[in-house]
Amino acid sequence: MPGIRAISLAGGVDVPALGQGTWYMGDDGRHAADEVAALRLGLDLGMTLIDTAEMYANGGAEKIVREAIDGRRDDVFLVSKVLPSNASRQRTIAACEASLKRLGTDRIDLYLLHWRGGTPLAETIEAFETLQAAGKIGHWGVSNFDTDDMDELAGLAGGKAVAANQVLYNLESRGIEFDLLPTLRAARVPVMAYSPLGQGGFVDDPRLKAIAARHGVSATQVALAWVLRHDNVIAIPKAVRPEHVQANRAALDLVPTTQDIAEIDAAFAPPRRKMPLEMI
């Protein structure tokens, strides 16, 4: 199996184009062992970027990640997020300290503002810079920021240090292709695609199934490979069953053809105008 190709974050660090998400992990202790095992399997397969957040299961997902990375922290690129309600200078620092404790580590490699709230962005940037100076975080970024948000951020002192923007992107949510994705590409700020497989409904589309059959793979793998076709997109699907983890990894080795892309565009139309940024 070929190695996982790297994508450079703004700031120069390389991360795998395919990582692992943890949304909904930690919600039910009965599934904890399976969730930990899935993340560890993903690490074994080279998916060493793990994305989590203080919001997920009220910190429960970060505790699952702690178990998964125990003994192999240095192999992992760890991403977590601060809630907008905690985005003031002092509360961001306190929230980061709490996340570090739950994660059982002394640093978060990439710390994101989960979405915009009432706190001025300049104040949150100041908190991020304080955490960087203390070695508590390596890089900072944002999530659910649209083009106008990114423009505002770029105009602030220190704002151009943003390392990534995590947004919803999948076959049924293509709005970012109209302006946000090319804008970020031009600025060399990669996209982290959350929920790259959506809610799973589109995998039953017969046109997607036909493409999958042509390649001898699943429709889910085609959908994930389609997201990964970009040179500035990092996908972070969540998986708990081992076969799903392995299927996600295999999707990275599938390169959609020109015919595949044309058929996908016919089935799931790309945006023709500016669309409001979708969030879930």
Positions marked active-site: 56
Residue 186: Cβ within 10 Å count: 9
Feature table: binding site: 114
d(CA 65, CA 51): 9
Write the DSSP string, 71-120. Answer: T-GGG-EEEEEE-GGG-SHHHHHHHHHHHHHHHTSS-EEEEEE-S--SS-
CB distance 215 to 188 below 8 Å: no
The DSSP symbol for 9 reads: P
Feature table: binding site for substrate: 114
Q: What is the 3-state secondary structure of 59-74?
A: HHHHHHHHHHHCCCHH
Report strand pairing: 14-16 vs 20-21: unpaired
